[in-house]
Structure 1
């Protein structure tokens, strides 16, 4: 049974089928879109006897990886919070962060969402979108450098649309963020944990600013320049 499930789910077209079926669950709850895809990915992992390298987890977290992730996170913060996002907000409006409003000044809520974020956003989303979707699509397209680049674009568009609840500006910003991090994965195909750290550290900064009610100060200052 286990082998049959694995052999079926690892067929080349299954990743496309999964990405097409998952959004249907959004009519029930947007979180189901994520958990459906994650469920398929974990069934493949289970069927492979937990061969994590199939999803790009082939290296342990080292001091070098942590330092590298912090440097990239800082670059992301400067690039997006000070340059890209303020420009996007000027033309497409503000982010819709209403789903996170409850953590402002709420220490318990902040701690809970931080734990959830590291498990399901930092690890879960990278495992699904880069570890499964991007790698499987790249292999479907021929596993060449061009196929990996095409896979990065498709996965990033899909990732951006999955954040439609943040509004138009959110989808565009997340698409650009995802594209860059996907290209980083293309250069570090066996080190998905690097992306997990970058994702986690980036969201930690964002959630902390939101908790402190400081999330809009930088954007407001930059927008005055336009």
Structure 2
């Protein structure tokens, strides 16, 4: 007997649209008041709502791969692999982005960090909450899981979900990085998304650590005044 294809999951679609709505509305609402904290405010809000949605579905974040590692050496190796894949994907996309769009950097969003220890400590707290754990749990684990289920499940649905999550991830960075940065960030997000699928959606910690390390290095360079 052949396996019947999964049907379109309206519940998963509602879950997905709910989180996307929270992310967009909260960020756009906070932007007029804070260019720096609009993103974090939206991810914090979305994490609360996503956690409630998962509980209502009888699930938890561990079901999407957020669990204590059993083998730290494996996690370290996969983290290094994730960093290499991210660099490769973003460098390839940069060749395209440089041809058609102007690189505006981060629009001065983090200029206040240079030489400012309290600001540096504050931004590092955001790096290891909003910028690593929350973004990976939301844009990789939650969005991919809900989108894949909404599309009916299976390999094609997984890839479509990975692509969708990456496009939305790039869009999330457009407001301060422009199209150039959005394309590069989206490409890195797609590399992470495909790794998440390769990990079987059971291990998101390497992506969290890789994301946090990249952001930590970037903010540390800014604090020290090291320019590209």
Q: TM-score range by the shorter chain?
A: 0.7 to 0.9
Cα displacement string for residues 97-151 of structure 1 (whole angstroms, at most 9, x for unaligned residues): 4111111122232222112111111000111111111111111212201111000
Corresponding position: 1:166 with 2:167:
no
The answer (yes or no) to whether the contact 2:87–2:188 under 8 Å persists in 1 is: no
Query: In structure 1, how many angstroms separate the alpha carbons of the residues matched to 2:11 and 2:87?
Result: 38
SS in 2 for 1:98: coil
SS of the equivalent of 2:11 reads coil
Q: Which residue of 1 aligns with 2:47?
A: 38
Deviations 1:133-170, CA, capped at 9 Å, x for gaps: 11111112122011110000111111111111222211
Please report how far the alpha carbon of residue 86 of structure 1 lies from its aligned counterpart in structure 2 after TM superposition. Answer: 6.8
Question: Which stretch shifts more, 135-144 or 105-114?
Answer: 105-114
* Cα pair 2:114 2:222 within 8 Å, conserved: yes
Aligned pair 1:28/2:29, yes or no? Answer: yes
Q: 1:195 aligns with which of 187, 202, 207?
A: 207
Report the Cα offset of residue 75 of structure 1. Answer: 5.2
Give the match for residue 6 of structure 1. none
| Separation in 1, partners of 2:57, 2:149 | 17
Q: Does 1:93 align with 2:102?
A: yes
RMSD (Å) for aligned C-alpha atoms: 2.6
Runs of 4+ in 1 over 6 A off after TM superposition: none
Partner Cα separation in structure 1 for residue 96 and residue 107 of structure 2: 18
Distance of 2:73 and 2:117 partners within structure 1: 30
Check 1:114–1:77 CA distance in 2 against 1; reply closer, same or farther (3 A cut). farther
Comparing 97-106 and 149-158, the one that deviates more: 97-106
Does the 8 Å CA contact 2:85/2:191 hold for their aligned counterparts? Answer: no
Q: Unmatched 5+ residue regions in structure 1?
A: 1-9, 217-226
Assess if the C-alpha contact under 8 Å between 1:129 and 1:155 holds in 2.
yes
Q: 1:54 to 1:202 in 2, by over 3 A?
A: same
The corresponding residue for 1:128 is 138
Distance 1:112 1:56, change over 3 A: same
Structure number with the higher helix fraction is: 1
Q: How high is the TM-score relative to the length of structure 2?
A: 0.78
Offset, 1:204: 1.5
Question: What are structure 2's unaligned runs of at least 5 residues?
Answer: 1-9, 31-37
